Amino acid sequence: MIDLNQVLDQTKDIAKKAGAFIRKERQHFDLKKVEEKGLNDLVSYVDKEAEKIIVENLSKVLPEAGFITEEGTKEEENREYTWIIDPLDGTTNFIHGIPIFCVSIGLQKDKEIILGVVYEVNMHECFYALKGHGAFCNDTPIHVSKAKTLSQSLLATGFPYSAFSQIDEYLGIMRVMMQKTHGLRRLGSAAADLCYVACGRMDGYFEYNLNSYDVAAGSLIVQEAGGKVTDFKNGNDYVFGREIIATNTLIHDEFWNELRKIWEK
């Protein structure tokens, strides 16, 4: 029988190990080593090597588990257990020296996320959760905010860097939220955005054109901290559906009602 508490502890250590490598490489990083996977989709040897560190070590923790990885180090889906990994969420921030980027590791069992670890490299903050056991940051319990309305809220979002077909609708949502909230923030890391909702620094977060490895770990952490996570249709297809809304629960209905007026047109 798998001891998930032990798996969680090992996963936290692995995330920190990868984070230490990323932190060290940032000190002398050469912009000439950046590659483009697609339009504005950047990657470097740091992403690839960090992923190798994570995959190699997680393979020892759960040898029977499959993998979904951003950089393709190992791809084995359709297993009972599947690791969903972003070795460096916030690559563009990393490349430009902006200190917000994370290691994100989620564990899925039978299509349900049951474990999540996000390590924010610069602040040395390790956010984590096991399904049904609450959410934590550096061993301290965390909870979502108590803001009751959009007018009391600060929201995080992300900007599309390649999928521009719905940019007008998205800008429309941002226009409304600029007027109805304390403001919008764009941190550049979906994993950080989600964890900041989980610990109450942000009251909500929304973004589209995402991948499973961007949100798998963070979405569980938000829920275990008392938040609510849906897709843009207010459904549950937020890990693989490429769009996500995460809130403190209290503002969720108000936010979604504003979003659907624009997004569904």
> Concatenated DSSP letters for 49-105?
HHHHHHHHHHHHH-TT-EEEETT-S--B-SSSEEEEEEEEETHHHHHHT-S--EEEE
How does pLDDT run across 192-209, given as a tens digit for each residue?
999 999 999 999 999 999
Report the topology of domain 150-263.
D-Maltodextrin-Binding Protein; domain 2 (3.40.190)
Confidence of residue 265 (pLDDT cuts 50, 70, 90): low
| Range 4-141 classified under CATH 3.30.540.10 | yes
- Quick check: 38 pLDDT over 60? no
Q: How far apart are CA 163 and CA 51, in angstroms?
A: 25
User: How high is the pLDDT of residue 106?
Assistant: 98
How does pLDDT run across 92-141, given as a tens digit for each residue?
999 999 999 999 999 999 989 999 999 999 999 999 999 999 999 999 99
With a pLDDT cut of 90, the percent of the chain lying above it is 80
Instruction: Give the domain ranges of the chain.
Output: 4-141, 150-263
The reply to whether domains 4-141 and 150-263 share a CATH topology is no
Residue type, 115: L
Strand partners, 228: 247
Higher-pLDDT residue of 162, 188: 188
Q: Record the pTM.
A: 0.94
